[in-house]
Structure 1
């Protein structure tokens, strides 16, 4: 058995590279998660309110948003999507490598995923509550902001938590194509240099990160659920 002192604690990859790699992963997930929330939430709301029979039913717009924007984007495997978006990434951030560049493709991959979850969450709101709001003279915007979103907030928090967990997995794949973070560390040291201790530490950190985010998301969802 190889002593831990000679591998885990003396390995420069763990001592010097692990912490910066973790910060890069958090940076990627943080930036892309924020962009996903800002853009994915309204997209999901539009998917819901433009569907047939909804308050702003528009079959053409709903088809464009659902079948073209959401479904086609979700059909791309993330690794292929990231490569395909490299020219756009260079235009937006000036480079195609690094955590900032990876955040672009991460956000584009996650936005339609989250939007679909948002749409599903909004469907759980009882239609009678929206009808009551309309009967009291609420505008469509007021019905969305004061009834639809508040009533579905616990489910929306759970959906966003699921999206962030998915982003963590995507960020590890981004590391294989120059995105940085724990994925790149695991590939460069754990795979290419056969340093099993680095690979194990990377996996452990990713598992812990997912567990923490899931616990926080579940706690917030439970705290705001007054049903």
Structure 2
């Protein structure tokens, strides 16, 4: 996939995927009149496309196989299966597309909500595979807005022993990117776009609205 220069051009840890299909589908998601069912399907399709880039560096190992014509040395994924960690609740909306790519991946959940006054994350749930520290984790949330929830989730994963992570989101703000990169410079960010910035309520502008509400039809 062709890549744009990220909004932080000297930061190799931020990847903006500008493939035409990605940008087209993102535009459809941004549209106010896009129905809930279409929004969900687009989120699934975009997460799959983002997954290709997020998984670019997965380790491989050689394996001997028999094709219909001859024996050969091929390559397959090495090590423990991936762990996909959803930041609840909206993160669940982009799990399916990633699972289409790696259906055997393990799943973890971090439950966080944003305090409407402080905009700080409050944890209410955590469930991870016992051996999460031995797995590469893709941490998923549709929006990287203030960055506080992403930082809190990755803090908890590191406490659990995980040290190989990629953060995958549909949209990011410059403030969110800066916050996450400052707290966890070892975690690569893969996104469709970095928008203009945040408003006084912590929403990404121009954005696509509240991803959770649009995914689940709650507003």
TM-score (norm 2): 0.30
* Greater C-alpha radius of gyration: 1
Q: When you count strand as a share of all residues, which structure comes out higher? A: 2
TM-score (norm 1): 0.29
Relative contact order, higher structure (CA 8 A, sep 6+): 1
Q: Between Structure 1 and Structure 2, which shows a larger proportion of helix residues?
A: 1
